[in-house]
Structure 1
Amino acid sequence: MNKRITIKQIAKALNVSISTVSKALNDSYEISDETKKKIKEYAKFHHYKPNTLALSLQNKKTKTIGIIIPNILSHFFAKVLSGIEKVAAEQGYNIITCITNESYDKEKHTIETLSNGTIDGFIACISEETLKLGKFDHFNNVIAEGTPIVLYDRVHKDIVCDKVVIDNVKTAYKATRFLMRSKCDNIALISTIDGLNVGKFRAKGYEKALTKYGIEPNKDLIIRLENNEHLKERIEHMIDNHKVDGIFTIDETSAAIAVQVLNARNIKIPKDVSIIGFTNGILSKHSVIPLTTVNQFGVKIGEQAAIRLINKLENKIDFDDIRTEIIRTELIERDSTKKLYIKF
Structure 2
Amino acid sequence: MKQKITLKKIAKEFGVSISTVSKALKDSHEISSEVKEKIQAFAKYYHYKPNSLALNLRNQKTKTIGVIIPEIVHHFFTKVITGIEKLANDKGYNVMICLSNESYEKEVLNLDMLANGVVDGIIASVAKETEAKEDYRHFTELINNGIPLVMFDRVVDEIECNKVIADDKGGAFLATEQLIKNGCSNIALVTTPDYVTVGLERKEGYLKALNEFKIPSNEELVVTIDDQKSVDEQLTVLFEGNMVPDGIFAVNEIYAATVMKVARKFGYSVPEDIEVIGFTDGLISEFASPSLTTVAQHGRTMGQKALELLLDEIDSQDIQYQHKTHLIQTDLKIRNSTKKVQLQN
Tell me which interval the TM-score lies in, with the shorter structure as reference length.
Answer: 0.7 to 0.9
Q: How far apart are the structure 2 equivalents of 1:105 and 1:93? A: 28
The aligned residue for residue 89 of structure 1 is: 89
Which residue of the partner structure matches residue 111 of structure 1? 111
Instruction: Give 1:12-31 correspondences, 5 Å limit.
Output: 21-22=9-10, 24-27=12-15
Deviates more, 1:43-52 or 1:250-259: 43-52
Alignment of 1:112-261 (within 5 A): 112-192=112-192, 194-241=194-241, 242-261=243-262
Deviations, residues 103-133 of structure 1 (Å, cap 9, x unaligned): 1112112212221221100011111111111
Give the corresponding residue for 2:60.
60
Residues 172-200 of structure 1 deviation map (CA, whole Å, 9 limit, x = unaligned): 11211111111111100012454411111
AA partner of residue 25 (structure 1): E
AA paired with 1:67? Answer: V
SS at match of 2:248: strand
Instruction: Find the partner of 1:11 among 3, 20, 28.
Output: 3
Q: CA deviation at 1:326?
A: 0.5
SS at match of 1:82: helix
Aligned residue number for residue 286 of structure 2: 285
Q: Structure 2: which amino acid aligns with 1:104? A: Y
Is the deviation greater in 309-318 or in 206-215? 309-318
Q: How many equivalent pairs are there?
A: 323
CA distance in 2, matches of 1:282, 1:100: 22
> 3-state SS of the aligned residue for 1:11?
coil
Percentage of identical aligned residues: 38
SS of aligned partner of 1:68: strand
- Indicate how the Cα distance of structure 1 residues 106 and 22 shifts in structure 2: closer, same or farther if over 3 A, else same: farther
CA displacement at 1:260 relative to structure 2: 1.1
* Residues 102 and 127 in structure 2, CA contact (< 8 A), matched pair in contact too: yes
SS in structure 2 of the partner of residue 140 of structure 1: helix
Deviations, residues 38-90 of structure 1 (Å, cap 9, x unaligned): xx998553454655774344111111111111111221111111110000000
Once the two structures are superposed, residues 307-329 of structure 1 have per-residue CA deviations (whole angstroms, 9 ceiling, x without a partner) of: 11112223398772200000111
C-alpha distance in 2 between matches for 1:262 and 1:157: 37
Residue in 1 aligned with 2:75? 75
Q: TM-score, normalised by structure 1?
A: 0.85
Q: Is the 8 A contact 1:312 1:319 kept in 2?
A: no
CA RMSD of aligned residues (A): 2.8
Distance 1:192 1:43, change over 3 A: same
Point out where structure 2 has 5 or more consecutive residues left out of the alignment: 17-39
Q: Distance in 2 between matches of 1:299 and 1:186?
A: 34
AA aligned to 1:11 is Q
Q: Give secondary structure in 2 for the equivalent of 1:123.
A: strand
CA–CA separation in structure 1 for the residues paired with 2:134 and 2:250:
26
